[in-house]
Structure 1
Amino acid sequence: MNEDKRAADTLKWMAWTATIVGTLLLVFTASDFRSENLPLMVSIGCLIAGMNIFLLSTVFRLMHMWKQRV
């Protein structure tokens, strides 16, 4: 297994972790919806970060496929 695929897999697991943590925090803190609610703001940040990390994982996979074709 080469480094690009391993990096993409690591990013995928990090994205799942951030998304699950964000979802759990959101479920328990969404009832008090205000900007001073730090756990709620962290949960929203984790959800956004998880999606961005998924995007990076996809980019790594596509770069790996492009390197193999060229």
Structure 2
Amino acid sequence: MAADFRKTGSTDNQMSRVVSVIAWIACLAGIILILFDIGNLSDRNIYLMTGIGCVVAGIFIFLTGKAFVIARKKEDQENGRS
């Protein structure tokens, strides 16, 4: 199969770095949006609501990326490719 020919260490590290960078960008964009109009703390403040969504999405992206890396390493260990 095609999965047998992949290099596990380098692709896992590269994927982890890329996902972490995307997550940090989402979190920073969210923080910037929150700080853009922090004076108006209401549910009608589109910058605040979008900023909170970006921060939550960034955390979710980070955790999901780490979970995929852990799952791939566990799969490799079970298949004897450690």
- TM category (shorter chain) comes to 0.7 to 0.9
d(CA) in 2 for partners of 1:26 and 1:53?
A: 19
RMSD: 1.5
* Partner residue of 1:30 out of 10, 25, 38: 38
1:51 aligns with 2:59: yes
Count of aligned positions: 69
Q: Give % identity.
A: 28
d(CA) in 1 for partners of 2:75 and 2:24?
A: 26
When Rg is computed on C-alpha atoms for both structures, the one with the higher figure is 2
Q: How far did residue 36 of structure 1 move? A: 1.3
Q: How far did residue 28 of structure 1 move? A: 2.1
The TM-score normalised by the length of structure 1 is 0.83
Q: Which runs of 5+ in 1 are unaligned?
A: none
1:66 aligns with 2:74: yes
Counterpart amino acid of residue 15 in structure 1:
A
Structure of greater relative contact order (alpha carbons < 8 Å, 6+ residues apart): 1
